[in-house]
Amino acid sequence: MQGDPLLDSDHITRYCGASQINEDGTISGATFRLREGESYLSVNWLEFLELGNREAESSEIRRVLSSKLGIGTKAKIGVLNVSELRRYIFAESPDGRDLQVRHQPEPDDPSHSGVFNVEMDDDLIADLITENVRESYPAKVQLDWSEIRRKIALDRHSNTRAATK
């Protein structure tokens, strides 16, 4: 429901634009700064999707994001744990910032949620949040054309064999 806080054990994802990814593939603090028009950090709530595994979850997040944003070829989806994030920021930020993570569903994005209490140009908090990224996945599936060609060839081969039988 709108405004419900997420559980400590839950996980959230944030879209990390390709121009906000460091050369070594790590996610920079620029990712966790409010974008123009944002009053909170837009994230997605993974457990809400009830898909059971990270691969299916990231695939669904990719689908949702691609309907809303222009996805960069080398963009990523960063995953954070709610409890780790909140505790770390509370303990390490100079002002003991108490971040709130709440469900903010949208019609075309029901798992949409928000990280609240982040202010505009809050570089220090953004850099601290970055330290909590547990894992990351490509935001755009890279097509393996050689694999696709191999599958098409196999498919044709089996069709031909079925026809000759």
> Residue numbers of the site for other proteins (CB under 8 A)?
17-26, 28-30, 33, 35-36, 69-75, 92-94, 121, 123-124, 127-128, 131
Which of 47, 23, 64 lies closest to 103, judged by CA? 47
Q: Would you say 33 or 112 has its CB closer to other proteins?
A: 33
Q: What DSSP string runs through 24-87?
A: TSPBPGGGGSPPTT-SSEEEEETGGG---SHHHHHHHHHHHHHHHS---TT-EEEEEEHHHHHH
Q: Would you say 24 or 50 has its CB closer to other proteins?
A: 24
Q: Would you say 28 or 83 has its CB closer to other proteins?
A: 28
- Closest distance of CB 30 from other proteins, Å: 5
Q: How many CB atoms lie within 10 A of CB 74?
A: 15
> Quick check: 113 and 12 in contact, CB under 8 A?
yes
Q: Would you say 6 or 20 has its CB closer to other proteins?
A: 20
- Closest distance of CB 53 from other proteins, Å: 26
- Closest distance of CB 161 from other proteins, Å: 43
